[in-house]
Amino acid sequence: MKSTRRAAAEAAVIGFLLHTVTSLWIWKTWGFFGRGNVIAWLDFPASLGFMQLDGGWLLFWSLLAGGLQWGAIAAALATVVGRAARRRAG
């Protein structure tokens, strides 16, 4: 696997896992009123698709859609940084 693709894939997994840990931590430690608001801002704009939900469904869609969103952001950032570093070194 090409080093850029490997770095992007690893960054996507790490971004997804960090989002999962953060969302679960927010869900456990914040009160009923505050946690939905924090999760909505954490996952914006993906949260626009599941903002009307509450309870376990809000957490489920946050973990799925928000995790995919943050995984994609991490992969894109790793790709951009990798290409910039390679261009600078070469």
DSSP secondary structure, the chain, as one string: --HHHHHHHHHHHHHHHHHHHHHHHHHHHS-HHHHHHHHHHHTTTGGGGTTT--THHHHHHIIIIIHHHHHHHHHHHHHHHHHHHHHHH-
Domain extent for 38: 3-89
* Stronger pLDDT, 34 or 74, i.e. the higher one: 74
Q: What is the pLDDT of residues 18-35, one digit of tens each?
A: 999 999 999 999 987 789
Number of domains in the chain: 1
Asked if the model's pLDDT at residue 1 lies above 70, the reply is: no
